[in-house]
Structure 1
Amino acid sequence: MTRITEQASNYQDLDHMSVHELLTNINNEDRTVPLAVAKAIPQLERLVAITVEKMKAGGRLFYIGAGTSGRLGVVDASECPPTFGVPFDQVIGLIAGGDSAIRKAVEFAEDDLEQAWIDMEKHQINKQDVVVGIAASGSTPYVIGGLRRANAEGLITGCIVCNEHSPIAEEAQYPVEVVVGPEFVTGSTRMKSGTAQKLVLNMLSTAVMIQLGRVKGNKMVDMQLSNKKLVDRGVRMIMEETGLDPEAASALLARFGNVRQAIESYASQKPKI
């Protein structure tokens, strides 16, 4: 049976379309993606809840995938330290074929059932950790093997897939199935499927980090101050929270090097009325 991600596009003769027609039709297809994601929120809610529980107990979050799916996991994991100030190894993205596969496809790397667990063992994976497999097709051997071994070792497993009733969803304890339908270019899952996976990853990691206390109000108070833009944002956060002028807020941030610590220090020293 052909999975829906591999079914023929709803559009014919793409090579005869004008640029305007191409862009309009791609955009029309992309509009359906958030609706598909919304239907998967109950599944995602369960995955977020168990991930928060495990991470509060000292666990980590692993993403495993191949190709576009693997790259999306690596991107999401790499954004967590600068955005939320967590250690670089608290959210770990692994891609079939290793880091070189981020830029260039590694032939047949995704077909190895054993390699994902080998890759995770390099990070001393343990029963406190959560493993989320990412695969549009839901049938990538690298991901299937990784989830299967993780289950056998007593870990929590989840997945993000774009076909219903897939082998990967059957392996995962907490499957998230976002069915976006046929791609604009037949089988090109970097398009709608990739967009859906990116949205779900945004929701998963952001919700988890907020639940872990890494956001105050609506602000990234634990972000890493790695460039001038972020330093300026940090100064504005301190000004908004404390009422200090730019110079004083900047001096406070320079002293502590962290928005949360700067605000908490100011609040603790402010005279009580």
Structure 2
Amino acid sequence: MAPNVLSIAGTDPSGGAGIQADLKAFSANGAYGMSVITALVAQTTTGVVRVQEVAPDFVTDQLVTLLDDVRVDAVKIGMLANAEIIRAVVEVLDRYSPRHVVLDPVMVAKSGDRLLAPEAVGALREQLLPRVDLITPNLPEAADLLGEPEITDVEQMPAQAERLSALGAKQVLLKGGHFDGGDSVDLLHGDGVSEFLGSERVETTNDHGTGCTLSAAIAALRPQRSGWPEAVREAKLYLTEALRASERLEVGRGHGPVHHFHTWW
């Protein structure tokens, strides 16, 4: 039976990131996708024009209505926009205790536009992070969460992942894509074990929504696999191929999307 997987995130009209990318990644990885919208985002491949945040009580209504009816096997959390929405999501997580919660701490868009209010970082760190099973920050997001400078080499990753774990994250996937080099190296840290996961760096400008896509793929695969390492490794392979096939798409004039359905098209 296909798992039911929920995305809690903002929108992207261009289809490359946010809710739209999550639903594609869920489907591509064998899961039935569902969504609760936290913000309406006017954005394209070139940048963000405007963000219209959803009222926190309506975020609650969306979640409660869904969770009262549908079995949810995994949750992926993306853009939450502000502290009030974060608190609304935390209250629902505490009430329903869904399994396999993945947090992609979306703070800044690929274009550099901020998607999480600076004053909400503390709520994300102190209230939400201890309630999730896996967090998937890139290097700038990890630095923001910890309130420290961004690390500059791979050797610093284990210590930073441990500091993130100390904040309450059960599993940390620290993404090293911002480093230079022929390979993109991530670090999976949890249960006292750290594992470097390397993958080929695909040279392309079509990298819009890579973080959304990876975390969504992990959430889709976790109920179908025996543990986090297996789900993360397979999701990374999926993303690499989606990046490699992205040149078959022509979407926008900026950072284009990855090819979520590269296996079938």
Scaled to the shorter chain, the TM-score interval is: 0.3 to 0.5
Larger radius of gyration: 1
Higher helix share: 1
What TM-score do you get using the length of structure 1 for normalisation? 0.38
What TM-score do you get using the length of structure 2 for normalisation? 0.39
Higher relative contact order (CA 8 A, sep 6+): 1
Higher strand share: 2
